[in-house]
Chain A
Amino acid sequence: MTLFDFWRSHRAEFASLFLQHVMLVGVSTLVAVAIGIPLGVLAARRPRLGGPIVWLANAAQTIPSLAMFGFLLPLPLIGGLGARVAIVVLIVYALLPIIRTTAAGLASVDRALIEAGTALGMTPAQLLRQVELPLALPSIVAGIRVASVIAVGTATIAAAVGAGGLGEYIFRGLAMVDSTVILAGAIPAAVLALAIDGLLTWVERAVRRRLSGRRRGRAGAAIAAAAVAAAALVAGALLTRGREPDVIRIGSKNFTEQIILGEILAQTIEAQTALRVDRRLNLGGTFICDRALRTGDIDAYVEYSGTAHTAIFHEPPDTDPAGVLSRVRARYADAGLTLLDPLGFENTFAILIRGADARQLSIATLDDAVPHAVRWRAGFGYEFLERQDGFPGLRDRYGLRFAAPPRAMDLSLIYRALAERQVDLIAGDATSGLIEAYDLTMLKDNRRYFPPYDAAIVARSATLLAHPELRSALASLSGRISVDAMRRMNHAVDAGKREAADVAREFSRGSR
């Protein structure tokens, strides 16, 4: 599918994501201007305050955006999933350039002009408004230009907290390893950045021209009007997105399997109950989903037992599936969350060989493979190769030896490398659709080296209590999704380029 086909077939969605992006940038930049210019004036007027102000703005700039979303999510008023928290983060990033250029612009105003104004009887406020700010304006506009271009880029990350925008396509494309979808979001974002840059460069020049007196424009007023209109639109969007009691919010992380599972949850609830579902899929990872669940921004999503065990509850690695599950369930219960029974498949590390080899040599387990491995070459992802609970531990547990040291390979290439006989054994993903597509065999981890990663729904206990029908709908999925079914669905989306919602619908129909 070419880029243009993609845009054509997603026309309405594209338009709304683009608009969301513009709004995120417009509103955050406007608010940053309203806060940043007074702070810049303060910094210029009171150098003793100015230092710390610029230092703080600088420090805020260095916080990675995803981490900042994580910190802000649980806060009242500004936190929560959606545009609000994204706008707050964008404002924080936009402040520094605006404060800096305002202070620098004011400092560059000719002292003689300030003295002239004072001698004519202007008060400090009149001097600021009528002389200093107008003369600093080109510098301030340059700062706003930098801030809004930064905002266009940062706003793509906002998709991680469900704020929408062009980042949706970028995250979706990354999850699907589909560069067309990535470009469908990245190219318009770049064009938007260039357009804003060009527009504000023009405004900056117009302001400078006007200062040198050759022409008097009203460009600033037009920009301000456009920005205010954008602000009004976003405010409207925010207001209409309030909480409704009979709406269940379903979340998911930002990779294909999670999005399909999110759809399955949503469709199951819609089919079996009268509740309405708000899909907040494609959130930026485990951390964000967990925070969102605890703050009530989502009511349920699918987590993996091993991930919850180590990444959320920081327990030491454990390979006993039942033990991990019960410990995670107890920890969730303490937080007012309920872990339902597993869905039926595990998304763990998978040690894979070609199906032909497995059949010919009758290999089913890792122990079976060890004697043959001395003639084989292996390929692993960088992370698996390095992590102590990756290859080094596996080698020690099974006494694995290969013909040559394992090759480090990119995960997106590793399945094909195995199929094309460049390597003979790889570590992949147990639910990858490519396992079936390339006729690969997953070796059984018979010594239980890998921790269990059973997929299970985790939901807010309060929501389940309030809606018993919701509990039975979600529980109806327990044990119903096999690893083969999951692989097929992943493959249909990743390789077949089908919509996750359609694939999920077919699954529900087939299992009913």
Chain B
Amino acid sequence: MPAAASRQALRQVASCVPVRYSRAVATAGARAAVEFQSVSFSYGPRSILRDVSFAIGAGETVVLVGRSGAGKSTVLKLVNRMLLPHAGTVLVGGRPTHEWNPFTLRRGIGYVLQDVGLFPHMTVGDNIALVPRLAGWDEARVSRRVGEMLELTGLPPQDFAQRAPDELSGGQKQRVGVARALAADPSILLMDEPFGALDPVTRAELHHELRRIQREVRKTIVLVTHDMGEAFALATRIGVLSDGDLAALDEPARIGRSNDARVKPLLEPLLEASAALESTRR
């Protein structure tokens, strides 16, 4: 994405974020919402990321793909300071993560987890209200916001606000997960294989919903998946992680045409599936 457009998107987001955390994260004088500068990270002797650099503009939806263990989730955890880099710097809103108060930073960044992570002892409404309450919103505003978020994610509030997470289907839980992540109106949304456990039909439905939500709220989204189809369905840019390196970060069309040996194997299942589909239609 050209720098001018990125700046414009940033301004757009910055002008409509009401929350102090979001504003803090969004307007800390950056041109990129998230930037990795020569970042390395390892678990003990095992190197996860090696000298990775990239920048994500405000309002982009970047999908990171790669095999299991390629370091995808680590990238997300470096963004919200669940982890700190061993070398290099991660900038959020132009500010290195180690300079951020971790709690302030995290409350300004939505996070949707692999296994949803809804708290079983709280109602759906209380789960969604969690971050706004941590941020000290008054109750009237919190309950208004819970209603809005349930509407946004396609769950009628009167039916769902008082339910327990255990009473929801997998797809409904994931919608609540998204609603909770967006509740305090963060400028950045991190999603760690959010739809991995869902059946393909529900997953496609939620892809559609996420695109709609993204049109409405315009967040900087970093989503991690091992499903290349999901990447093409959602991304404005796709990043390919391979053995601790960022092999590619480009628009879907260019990734699809890539001849990189580290990118092509990830495309294989997609090409095979579409070839098989073609043949049945012929």
Contacts and interface: CB of A to CB of B under 8 A. Distances in A.
Nearest to B192: A119
A120 B164 contact: no
B61 interface: no
Nearest to A134: B121
Give the 5 A-B residue pairs with the shortest CB-CB distance, closest first. A213-B164, A116-B117, A121-B107, A121-B106, A119-B111
A118 B104 CA distance: 11
B267 to A, nearest CB: 31
Interface residues of A, number: 21
B113 A116 contact: yes
A126 interface: yes
Given A113-B117, A115-B117, A213-B120, A122 B164 contact: no
B123 to A, nearest CB: 7
Given A116-B117, A123-B103, A134-B121, 19 more contacts: A112-B115, A112-B117, A113-B117, A115-B82, A116-B111, A116-B118, A117-B117, A119-B111, A119-B190, A120-B106, A120-B107, A121-B106, A121-B108, A130-B119, A212-B120, A213-B121, A213-B123, A213-B163, A213-B164
Contacts of A213: 120-121, 123, 163-167
B166 A119 contact: no
B134 interface: yes
A131 B126 CA distance: 12
A234 B114 CA distance: 52
Contact of B104 (A121, A122, A130, A210): A121
A211 interface: yes
A119 B134 CA distance: 13
A122 B133 CA distance: 11
A218 interface: no
Interface string B67-86: 00000000000001010000
Contacts of B117: 112-113, 115-117, 119
A135 interface: yes
Contacts of A115: 82, 113, 117
B134 A120 contact: yes
Contacts of B167: 213
Interface string A105-118: 00000001101111
A11 interface: no
29 contacts: A112-B115, A113-B119, A113-B120, A115-B113, A115-B117, A116-B113, A116-B117, A116-B118, A117-B117, A117-B119, A119-B82, A119-B111, A120-B111, A120-B131, A121-B104, A121-B105, A121-B106, A121-B107, A121-B131, A122-B134, A126-B134, A131-B121, A135-B121, A210-B121, A211-B121, A212-B120, A213-B121, A213-B123, A213-B164
A118 B106 CA distance: 8
A117 B126 CA distance: 13
